[in-house]
Structure 1
Amino acid sequence: MKNIRWDDLQVFAHVARSGGLSGAAATLSLSAPTVGRRMLALEQATGKSLFVRSRTGYVLTQDGRALLRKVQAMEASAKPVEEWISTDVERPAIRISAGTWTANFIADNFVRLWTPNDPFRICFKTTEARLDITHREIEIGIRNQSAEGGNLASRRTVEVSFAPYVARNHPNPKGSEWVSLGSDEAITRSARWLLTQQDASICAWANTPYTLRDLVRAGAGKGVMPCFAGDRDPQLMRAGPLIAELADTQYLVMHNDDRHRPEVRKAIDRLHALFRDHAELFRGDRPIGAAGTDDA
Structure 2
Amino acid sequence: MQRWPVQPNWDDLRVFLTLARNDSLSRAGKQLRLDPATVGRRIARLETSYGASLFVKSPTGYALTEMGERLLQHAERAEQSMQLAEEAMSGQEEGLRGQIRIGAPDGAANFVLPQVCAEIARANPDLEIQIVALPRLFSLSKREADFAVAVSPPQTGRLMVQKITDYRLSIAAADSYLARHDPITTVEQLRPHRIIGYIPDMIYSKEVDYLGEIGIEAPQLASNSVSVQAHWIRQGAGIGIVHDFSLPALPGVSRVLPKRFSLLRSFYLLRHEDDKRLERHNRFAAALTEGMRKEVQRLEALS
Does the TM-score normalized on the shorter chain lie above 0.5? yes
The residue type equivalent to 2:144 in the other structure is E
Root mean square deviation, CA, Å: 4.1
**Is 1:109 aligned to residue 116 of structure 2?**
yes
**Is 1:237 aligned to residue 254 of structure 2?**
yes
For 2:273 and 2:122, the matched residues in 1 are separated by 25
The residue type equivalent to 2:107 in the other structure is W
Report the Cα offset of residue 122 of structure 1: 0.7
The residue type equivalent to 1:153 in the other structure is M
For 1:259 and 1:119, the matched residues in 2 are separated by 22
- Structure 2 residue aligned with 1:146: 153
For 1:129 and 1:97, the matched residues in 2 are separated by 9
Specify the SS of the correspondent of 1:277. helix
- For the pair shown, the structure with the greater C-alpha radius of gyration is 2
Asked if structure 2 preserves the Cα contact closer than 8 Å seen for 1:231 and 1:287, the reply is yes
- Structure 2 residue aligned with 1:33: none
Asked if structure 2 preserves the Cα contact closer than 8 Å seen for 1:146 and 1:251, the reply is yes
Specify the SS of the correspondent of 1:169. helix
Moved over 6 A (4+): 5-8
Higher helix share: 2
Asked if structure 2 preserves the Cα contact closer than 8 Å seen for 1:147 and 1:153, the reply is no
Report the Cα offset of residue 110 of structure 1: 3.0
Report the Cα offset of residue 152 of structure 1: 1.8
For 1:164 and 1:68, the matched residues in 2 are separated by 47
For 1:10 and 1:240, the matched residues in 2 are separated by 50
1:150-187 Cα distance to aligned partner (Å, 9 max, x none)? 33212222112211111133213735431122223322
1:44-72 Cα distance to aligned partner (Å, 9 max, x none)? x957xx8xxxxxxxxxxxxx9xx6998x9
**Is 1:97 aligned to residue 97 of structure 2?**
no
Report the Cα offset of residue 193 of structure 1: 3.1
Aligned length: 227
For 2:302 and 2:275, the matched residues in 1 are separated by 37
**Is 1:275 aligned to residue 281 of structure 2?**
no
- Structure 2 residue aligned with 1:213: 230
Asked if structure 2 preserves the Cα contact closer than 8 Å seen for 1:112 and 1:270, the reply is no
Residues 1-296 of structure 1 mapped to structure 2, 5 A cutoff:
9=23, 46=58, 73=69, 91-104=97-110, 105-115=112-122, 117-146=124-153, 148=155, 150-170=157-177, 171=179, 172=181, 174=184, 176-194=193-211, 197-198=214-215, 202-241=219-258, 243-244=261-262, 246-280=263-297, 286=301, 288=303
Please identify, of 169-178 and 179-188, the stretch whose mean Cα deviation from structure 2 is larger. Answer: 169-178
1:241-284 Cα distance to aligned partner (Å, 9 max, x none)? 3755x4222221112332432322222111111123235357x5
For 2:282 and 2:22, the matched residues in 1 are separated by 34
- Structure 2 residue aligned with 1:24: none
Asked if structure 1 preserves the Cα contact closer than 8 Å seen for 2:159 and 2:270, the reply is yes
Instruction: Classify 1:199/1:126 alpha carbon distance in 2 versus 1 (closer, same or farther; 3 Å).
Output: closer
Specify the SS of the correspondent of 1:95. strand
Asked if structure 2 preserves the Cα contact closer than 8 Å seen for 1:119 and 1:263, the reply is no
Structure 1: gaps (5+ residues): 12-44, 51-63, 289-296
For 1:253 and 1:191, the matched residues in 2 are separated by 18
Structure 2: gaps (5+ residues): 1-18, 26-56, 84-88, 91-96, 185-189
Instruction: Classify 1:181/1:144 alpha carbon distance in 2 versus 1 (closer, same or farther; 3 Å).
Output: closer
Asked if structure 1 preserves the Cα contact closer than 8 Å seen for 2:162 and 2:268, the reply is yes
For 1:131 and 1:243, the matched residues in 2 are separated by 31
Report the Cα offset of residue 196 of structure 1: 7.0
Instruction: Classify 1:222/1:69 alpha carbon distance in 2 versus 1 (closer, same or farther; 3 Å).
Output: farther
Specify the SS of the correspondent of 2:220. strand
TM-score for both structures, normalised by structure 2: 0.60
The residue type equivalent to 1:101 in the other structure is G
